[in-house]
Amino acid sequence: MSAPATSRRPVLLVDDDAVLLEYLSTVLHHAGYDTVETRSAAEALQRIGEREAAHEPDFALALLDINMPGMSGLDLARRLREHTQVAFMFLSSVDDAETARQAASHGAVGFVVKPVDAARLLPAFESALARADEIRQLRRTEANLNAALAAGRETSLAVGLLMARYQTDRNVAFEVLRDHARSSRRKINEVAEQLVAAEELLNGLHGAFAGRLRGK
């Protein structure tokens, strides 16, 4: 059964083989995805530009044939990585270590070898999509973190305090701080101010106790 229309995610397919392109589209459509089929890298870039101009969401994932006339899948991948936020996986008729190495070096989140059947395609595709979602979440977290740190001294200090206390990286520290602010329905800078003030109070009390003990 297909997924409800409201939950369908857009997927870009790029392959010069019309028969395979139709097969890929059918399999993914029945799995709950909306597919856009293109026969060349140039057409794929045009469709991406059209979505951007229409302010539509980016493709959730692009499935690229490596060997195509004109601009290859590897060249297209380089363009996607440098100029868009579209994640991609590769489709290749060659199954060797060098091809896999090239795919990884170009930033692919997945790799499928022809001939393709649904039993192998869907697990590989969904694994690649999950990886693409993780990368997008990391980018959003990094962007939110940088914006928050730029907007407030207290937020920056609070993130630093959490990093030092719990021996974690700044993304995790920021996410914890942000999630706590959301759960308490407060602004992140307010929670950060409270945390910094509490740390300063504890440091002051620690100094007072140390002085009292030295005086005995």
Domain with 177 in it: what CATH number? 1.10.10.10
Helix, strand and coil in the chain, % to nearest 5? 65, 10, 25
**Is 149 in the same domain as 110?**
no
Q: How many domains does the chain have?
A: 2
Domain C-terminal end among 101, 116, 131: 116
**Is 157 in the same domain as 109?**
no
Domain C-terminal end among 116, 135, 158: 116
Does residue 96 lie in a domain region? yes
Does residue 159 lie in a domain region? yes
Does residue 73 lie in a domain region? yes
Q: Which two tokens stand for residue 62?
A: 């692009």
Pick the range with the lowest mean pLDDT from 10-24, 61-75, 105-119, 201-215: 201-215
Residue-level pLDDT at 7 = 63
Does residue 2 lie in a domain region? no
**Is 109 in the same domain as 19?**
yes
Q: Please give the residue that has the higher pLDDT: either 195 or 40.
A: 40
- Residue 1: pLDDT band (50, 70, 90) is very low
Q: Determine the residue type at 202.
A: L
User: Is residue 21's pLDDT more than 90?
Assistant: yes
**Is 109 in the same domain as 163?**
no
Does residue 26 lie in a domain region? yes
**Is 108 in the same domain as 149?**
no
| Single pTM value for the model | 0.64
Q: Which domain covers residue 33, as residue numbers? A: 11-116
- Residue 215: pLDDT band (50, 70, 90) is low
Residue-level pLDDT at 71 = 93
For 18, list phi and psi in degrees, rounded to 5: -65, -40
Residue-level pLDDT at 96 = 66
- For residue range 146-175, list pLDDT tens digits in order: 666 666 777 888 888 888 888 888 888 888
Does residue 139 lie in a domain region? no
**Is 21 in the same domain as 105?**
yes
Average per-residue pLDDT for the chain: 85
Does residue 137 lie in a domain region? no
Q: Give start and end residues of each alpha helix (H) in 9-57.
A: 18-30, 41-53
Residue-level pLDDT at 4 = 44
Q: Judge whether 153 and 160 are in contact, CB under 8 Å.
A: no
**Is 93 in the same domain as 31?**
yes
Q: Judge whether 88 and 64 are in contact, CB under 8 Å.
A: yes
| CA 86 to chain CA mean position, Å | 9
The C-alpha atoms of residue 36 and residue 18 are separated, in whole angstroms, by 13
- For residue range 75-99, list pLDDT tens digits in order: 999 999 988 989 999 998 876 667 7
Does residue 126 lie in a domain region? no
